[in-house]
Chains A and B, each alone.
Chain A
Amino acid sequence: MSVSNLLENWSKFRHTHPVEDKGHPDWEAYPSDIKWAMAIDLDACTGCNACSVACYAENNLPVVGKEKYSHGQAMHWMRIERYWDESESGFEVDQGARFLPMMCQQCEAAPCETVCPVGATNHTEDGLNSQIYNRCIGSRYCSANCPYKVRYFNWYDYPTTKDVWPSPMNEQLNPDLSVRSKGVMEKCTFCKQRTYVARNNAKTEGRPVQDGDVQTACQEACPAGAITFGNLYDPESKVAQKWQHQQVELTKEKQDKDKTEGNRLRGYRILEELRPYPSVMYLERVRESAV
């Protein structure tokens, strides 16, 4: 983006809502009817980590080992965060931890996109926050600017690192996406390879993508069915209905429901106030003690 372009289109930059501004040259001519989104029910989540394991298997993620993990070099696109309730007497361990599956929130106004010096991460027409490994130069700016800390950097050339994929585990690498090399940033793609196939099949059959055409790896693996994934623009889809039922709107940084006191709806998005407009809605866990 040149400075002259910036100055000429200043009004547009300032006035378009981040969710409306697709940043996509084709958007006006060919608006997409797909916006991938997710809803995660924390009440159902048992913190079993099956989603994380499924993600490792689906997306060719290297298992870095204990030592590199302690250096903060883990590559878990999907991670389970644990939170303990605290009281005056210390941590309330009796109730157990609260679990929060955390992965890329595919923000509509993604903070990572604007800081990439080479434009390796940008917005796709179906509302994903893409990461182009070939273009990435490994500046790690995006990771620094990500409020959710869900971007992972390849510190080593894992395919050639011993015991990352010991034979015959290399045989199970997924050919539908690349095995990233050293010096490249990576993150959750909402299983792009699966959404691609779903869109492709729907297009061949001459119909729009229906709910249930595509499941992400984490959703498929979740034994509690806590994860819902689908097209937010399709009012029939489960995910859109959940968002609607919880009165969470994509375009708002402060939901209307939160203004009314005593609201008992559970839906919320993490760090909404930073205005990244994330595409993942969480459904709050209700403790027995809180009821």
Chain B
Amino acid sequence: MQHILRLFILLVGLFAGVGSYAADAAPKLTTPDDLGPQIEQPIEFPHFRHAGDAKDGGMQINCMYCHTYARRSMVAGIPPVQKCIGCHQSIESVRDKPRIKKLFEYWEAKKPIPWKKVHDLPDFVRFNHERHIQRFYFQQDRPYQEVCGYCHGDVKKMTVARRQKPLTMGWCASCHMKDHPISAHSTKTGHGPNDCFTCHK
């Protein structure tokens, strides 16, 4: 009897322990459909309308028109409200749409839009947008939608962006180990750095 009681206490303790661990655990890396979590943004920003192809009713705006810093900085950057207003103040046709009204509310209140981060890397990782854009967009002359899409997926078909790739170290390394041509006009190839210290800080 004593033994059974002890076993019972042990099992209860074990389940309680595992249960409490699971409750504290960080949100899962992958959701049932294998993508990042659905994130609710303050304004449901239609990427497909801005960046999408003309045949799908998009404006084909270059990603780097709004995410300006991608080509010259570590981070791609979220555009300031000013940038949105810059165009939208002279687009009368959509002025009465609920999202645009909300946008102008932020503008008139002089408040930034509290966008939530979709592609969030851990703090110990150093990822550099500039290097990737310089390499694939400027040196290799590949289309920007393809270049940004390597990591961000087909944003031009999304409304609110959702993480498409795992963004794990193995996933980064799978590309870094491949040989890519150095530039569009060169047959020489090279691959990404494989030093731990380049990306881990």
Bound-complex Cα distance A204 to B72 (A): 8
Q: Does B197 contact A (CB under 8 A)?
A: yes
Q: Which of B11-19, B90-98, B124-132 contacts A (4 or more CB under 8 A)?
A: B124-132
Cβ–Cβ < 8 Å partners of B128 in chain A:
200
> Which one of B130, B193, B195, B197 has the highest number of Cβ atoms from chain A below 10 Å of its Cβ?
B197
Interface membership of chain B positions 124-160, coded 1 if the CB is closer than 8 angstroms to chain A and 0 otherwise: 1010101100100000000000000000000000000
Bound-complex Cα distance A177 to B194 (A): 19
Cβ–Cβ < 8 Å partners of A6 in chain B:
none
Cβ–Cβ < 8 Å partners of A193 in chain B:
201
Bound-complex Cα distance A200 to B134 (A): 11
Which among A125, A130, A203 is the interface contact of B131 at CB below 8 angstroms? A203
Task: Report if A132-B196 is in contact (Cβ < 8 Å); known contacts: A177-B201, A178-B201, A192-B201.
Answer: yes
Q: Does A262 contact B (CB under 8 A)?
A: no
Task: Give chain B interface residues in 172-201, CB to chain A under 8 Å.
Answer: 190, 193-198, 200-201
Residue of B nearest to A178 (CB): B124
Cβ–Cβ < 8 Å partners of B201 in chain A:
176-178, 192-193
Which among B124, B130, B131, B190 is the interface contact of A134 at CB below 8 angstroms? B124
Chain A proximity of B64: nearest CB distance (Å):
15
What total of chain B residues lie within 8 Å of the partner, measured CB to CB? Answer: 17
Chain A proximity of B90: nearest CB distance (Å):
34
- A130 adjacent to B197 (CB under 8 Å): yes
Residue of B nearest to A25 (CB): B194
Residue of B nearest to A177 (CB): B201
How many residue pairs bridge A and B at CB < 8 Å? 45
- B130 adjacent to A204 (CB under 8 Å): yes
Chain B proximity of A43: nearest CB distance (Å):
33
Task: Give chain A interface residues in 139-198, CB to chain B under 8 Å.
Answer: 175-179, 189, 192-193, 196
Residue of B nearest to A201 (CB): B130
> Which one of B193, B194, B196, B198 has the highest number of Cβ atoms from chain A below 10 Å of its Cβ?
B196
Bound-complex Cα distance A133 to B196 (A): 10
Cβ–Cβ < 8 Å partners of B72 in chain A:
204
Q: Does B120 contact A (CB under 8 A)?
A: no
Q: Does A261 contact B (CB under 8 A)?
A: no
Cβ–Cβ < 8 Å partners of B134 in chain A:
203-204
Q: Does B123 contact A (CB under 8 A)?
A: yes
Task: Give chain A interface residues in 1-41, CB to chain B under 8 Å.
Answer: 24-26, 30
Bound-complex Cα distance A190 to B88 (A): 48
Q: Does A122 contact B (CB under 8 A)?
A: yes
Residue of A nearest to B72 (CB): A204
- B195 adjacent to A124 (CB under 8 Å): yes
Q: Does A135 contact B (CB under 8 A)?
A: yes
Bound-complex Cα distance A278 to B200 (A): 24
Chain B proximity of A22: nearest CB distance (Å):
11
Task: Report if A200-B197 is in contact (Cβ < 8 Å); known contacts: A178-B123, A178-B124.
Answer: no
Bound-complex Cα distance A203 to B128 (A): 13
Residue of B nearest to A197 (CB): B74
Task: Report if A133-B200 is in contact (Cβ < 8 Å); known contacts: A26-B194, A30-B190, A125-B195.
Answer: yes
Q: Does A222 contact B (CB under 8 A)?
A: no
Cβ–Cβ < 8 Å partners of B131 in chain A:
200, 203
- A130 adjacent to B195 (CB under 8 Å): yes
Chain B proximity of A39: nearest CB distance (Å):
23
Chain A proximity of B197: nearest CB distance (Å):
4
Cβ–Cβ < 8 Å partners of A130 in chain B:
195-197
Q: Does A128 contact B (CB under 8 A)?
A: yes
Task: Give chain A interface residues in 199-215, CB to chain B under 8 Å.
Answer: 200, 203-204
Chain B proximity of A58: nearest CB distance (Å):
13
Bound-complex Cα distance A225 to B198 (A): 29
Bound-complex Cα distance A125 to B110 (A): 48
- B197 adjacent to A132 (CB under 8 Å): yes
Cβ–Cβ < 8 Å partners of B190 in chain A:
30
A-B contact pairs, 11 of them (CB 8 A): A30-B190, A122-B196, A125-B193, A134-B200, A135-B196, A176-B126, A176-B201, A179-B123, A192-B197, A193-B201, A203-B134
| A residues at B contact (CB < 8 Å) | 24-26, 30, 122, 124-125, 128, 130, 132-135, 175-179, 189, 192-193, 196, 200, 203-204
17 extra interface residue pairs, beta carbon distance < 8 Å, beyond A128-B197, A175-B123: A24-B195, A26-B194, A30-B190, A124-B195, A124-B197, A124-B198, A125-B195, A130-B195, A132-B196, A132-B200, A135-B196, A177-B201, A178-B201, A179-B123, A189-B197, A193-B201, A200-B128
| B residues at A contact (CB < 8 Å) | 72, 123-124, 126, 128, 130-131, 134, 190, 193-198, 200-201
